[in-house]
Amino acid sequence: MEASELWVGFVGAGRMAGGLVRGLLQAGKVPASNVLASAPSDKNLDAWRQELGCRTTHCNLEVVHRSTLVFLATKPHILPGVLEEIRPAVGSHHIVVSLVAGVTIQTLQRLLPPRTKVLRIMPNLPCVVQAGAMVFSRGSNVGDEEAALLKSLLSSCGLCEEVPESYIDIHTGLSGSGVAYVYLFAEALAEGAVKMGMPGALASRIAAQTLLGAAKMLLETGEHPAKLRGDVCTPGGTTIYALHQLEKGALRATVMDAVEAATNRACDMAKD
């Protein structure tokens, strides 16, 4: 499908949805005139109109009527009411994509008309700077064509992989929440440098670039993290002394526990 032929709607216009549409527009995947977003107030919609050039409305039904690809980007507790509202307007030509945390494909299919094409995606915050990590899963009525279309669109916002739905909660613990673990580590790196006498702003920039460079090496070399970590260490050098301190602080086990805790919480939210 040509970009000019694709009409994209967003029910909900928060930061994550804005990051996704910004990536679509910058990559030329769809023109701004083909994007329509709805929200209860103009608080978020102003940026969609003024900065992105998209069309906006306060009517969720208008989004469904005017779009083929519909992203659901509301808060979880609001979604059931939204689905009840738009259900009469959803047809066989629609592709419905949910960004809503904790709401399963089974629930979406139950609340929408039979045979609705439903997919579920889980982005993370760096999608707003087109450096995200996303996974998506498809419902029983979605074919390869629709899945390929979604992957092509989302790849403009970062890494995008199709996975079994059971992986989505794990992705939440690994990457959705994981960016906060990285921010905490970056903060600690910088504060360590400040303690040793470096100005805070400079330390923060260097910490961020250190994380960016390390991540780029992981992706581009394909090497296991342990291999790259070993390459930095020299016998009796500074790095092995520092790693010893991190091991004494149980950094590895603590991070694994954090991923487990966030994953379990995501599973619990799906049951609520």
Q: Output the known binding site for NADP(+).
A: 73-76
Q: Output the known binding site.
A: 60, 73-76
Smallest CA-to-CA distance from 67 within 8, 22, 140, 154 is with 8
Mean pLDDT of all residues in the chain?
A: 94
Q: Give the model confidence (pLDDT) of 204-231 as tens digits.
A: 999 999 999 999 999 999 999 999 999 9
Q: Give the model confidence (pLDDT) of 121-180 as tens digits.
A: 999 999 888 899 999 999 999 999 999 999 999 998 999 999 999 999 999 999 999 999
Q: Output the known binding site for NADPH.
A: 60
Q: Left, alpha or beta for 48 (phi > 0: left; psi -120 to 50: alpha)?
A: alpha
Q: Which domains does the chain have, with CATH numbers?
A: 8-164 (3.40.50.720), 177-270 (1.10.3730.10)
pLDDT category at 5 given cuts 50, 70, 90 is: confident
Query: Rounded to an integer, what distance in angstroms lies between the CA atom of residue 139 and that of residue 141?
Result: 6
